[in-house]
A and B are shown apart, each in its own frame.
Chain A
């Protein structure tokens, strides 16, 4: 009965590959997010979706493309992976704006 689940938990891949991370929430929330935690441990917003519509797209390379097939899912596709993409990626959801977000367990992406 995990509230926000993301798969895979670990992902090791070579430079230049394309990969996807899946996220699903069963909380009935309208808003979903992708955050990135880099090597300096900062958690930074990447994207925010509300009811399947992109609301916020921070300065993220267009190699990163979120896809929201429905309100409960927000997947992250990454093309042409680079070494600097290595980080932990967290999916999150919230019932609306200015409320606490619920996070998934994270996906540790390592690009070699």
Chain B
């Protein structure tokens, strides 16, 4: 039972363009969402988060959008850089649970 879904296993984008990574969730109790980035042979590193009281959060080139009614969030990277090539995990948690539920990840490849 996947409560957090990332339906695109991979995404290819040219350097300088926008990367849009999508994530859907089914658990309506989730109210805090995070994106992690993972390079091969390393652990995931935190990128950006958003609370359900917001619909947008921005940090430099990274913006996360949350659509609660659609149970959908997306991560926008503008402009994309080759160093952004990694696996991106969407994660969610609720107010009564301390751990994160992760999606399967989307591999982003940014080509020069």
| Residues of A near any B CB (own CB < 8 A) | 4, 9, 31, 33, 40-45, 48, 50, 55-56, 90, 92, 97-98, 100-106
Distance to closest chain B CB from A45 (angstroms): 4
A-chain residues with CB within 8 Å of residue B22 when the two chains form the complex: none
- Number of chain B residues whose Cβ lies closer than 8 Å to a Cβ of chain A: 22
The answer for the CA separation of A11 and B97 in the assembled complex, in Å, is 31
Distance to closest chain A CB from B18 (angstroms): 24
Interface majority SS (helix, strand, loop, mixed), chain A: strand
Given A41-B105, A92-B43, A105-B41: A100 and B49 interface contact (C-beta under 8 Å): yes
User: Is A103's CB under 8 angstroms from B98's CB?
Assistant: no
B-chain residues with CB within 8 Å of residue A98 when the two chains form the complex: 32, 93, 95, 98
Given A97-B98, A98-B32: A103 and B44 interface contact (C-beta under 8 Å): yes
User: Is A56's CB under 8 angstroms from B98's CB?
Assistant: yes
